[in-house]
Structure 1
């Protein structure tokens, strides 16, 4: 098992992977349509998107938490 101290990084990895897969799939489908090469196009777009999304999530998540904390009350 992975130590709990790595939970935020693992969360960011999974979240960015799932979200970038969905978004790149929709964008690829809209751009090239559903055909035999779709999987290849989607995979390339997803890997590029994930390589950007994962570090972005790690950077943006703490900022977002602070913004949410300021906009909400107990």
Structure 2
């Protein structure tokens, strides 16, 4: 049995979750580097990442359309 598919109309939500996840994963690792080598690094990094991800998803969703419009105006479209 195939896994259920997400309807295409929710593509912008999927994009926001993935884009915010990748971006905050890297950012949290960079900002947690001061605890690198400490046994708590993983816990600090994961905690920072999850908090950042939860905050960024709605921001990415709200900013997407204005950013697209800005890009179109910069590109002369």
* TM superposition score normalised by structure 2: 0.88
Deviations 1:6-32 (CA, angstroms, capped at 9, x unpaired):
001100000001110110011001x32
Runs of 4+ with deviation above 3 angstroms: none
More helix by share: 1
Structure 2 residue 41 is matched with structure 1 residue 28: no
| Structure 1 stretch displaced more, 33-42 or 4-13 | 33-42
Aligned to 1:49: 52
How many residues are aligned here? 73
**Greater Cα radius of gyration, structure 1 or 2:** 2
CA root-mean-square deviation: 1.1
* TM superposition score normalised by structure 1: 0.91
Consecutive unaligned residues of structure 2, counting only runs of 5 or more, are none
